């Protein structure tokens, strides 16, 4: 239930699993989102599969690879329901694929691509080659495959 008729994003942030969820002093102005004992900052920090870890990884990759922040942006041809683009800078390339469809989609890309980040698996195993499939609600960051592989 939406606390106080407001969207859940406006509720207080639960910092810890135990009540009062990291808040001291007065009671927060609105109810906590559902299940604060499971969905809180402390729990997210310790879970490598959490949304917090995904965002931290994205921020780290963006800092490590200037192509992600400053590269030339070019939309690529994708099937319906999938949005894709390529970034290039000084010979470095990345492809981002986002599947908004309810079914998996096949995406053809020239050459071999390795999965650098997968929103479902977070950090895939090193050397995981993109198989051309983007699953529902999945986001992928791809880098060119290594020559000679």
pLDDT digits (tens, 9 = 90+) for 116-148: 999 887 656 666 899 999 999 999 999 998 754
Compute the average pLDDT of residues 44-56.
87
**Residue 41: burial class (beta carbons within 10 Å; 0-12, 13-18, 19+):** middle
Compute the average pLDDT of residues 22-45.
86
Calculate the average pLDDT of the chain.
88
Output phi, psi for 27, to 5 deg: -65, 140
pLDDT digits (tens, 9 = 90+) for 2-17: 555 556 567 888 999 9
């Amino acid at each position: 239930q939406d606390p106080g008729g407001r969207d859940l994003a406006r509720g207080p942030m639960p910092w810890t699993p135990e009540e009062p969820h990291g808040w001291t002093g007065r009671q927060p102005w609105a109810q906590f989102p559902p299940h604060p004992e499971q969905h809180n900052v402390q729990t997210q920090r310790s879970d490598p599969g959490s949304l917090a870890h995904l965002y931290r990884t994205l921020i780290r990759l963006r800092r490590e690879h200037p192509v992600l922040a400053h590269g030339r942006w070019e939309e690529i041809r994708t099937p319906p329901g999938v949005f894709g683009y390529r970034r290039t800078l000084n010979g470095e390339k990345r492809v981002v694929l986002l599947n908004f469809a309810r079914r998996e989609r096949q995406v053809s890309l020239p050459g071999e691509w390795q999965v650098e980040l997968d929103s479902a698996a977070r950090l895939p195993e090193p050397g995981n080659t993109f198989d051309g499939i983007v699953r529902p609600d999945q986001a992928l960051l791809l880098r060119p495959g290594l020559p000679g592989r």
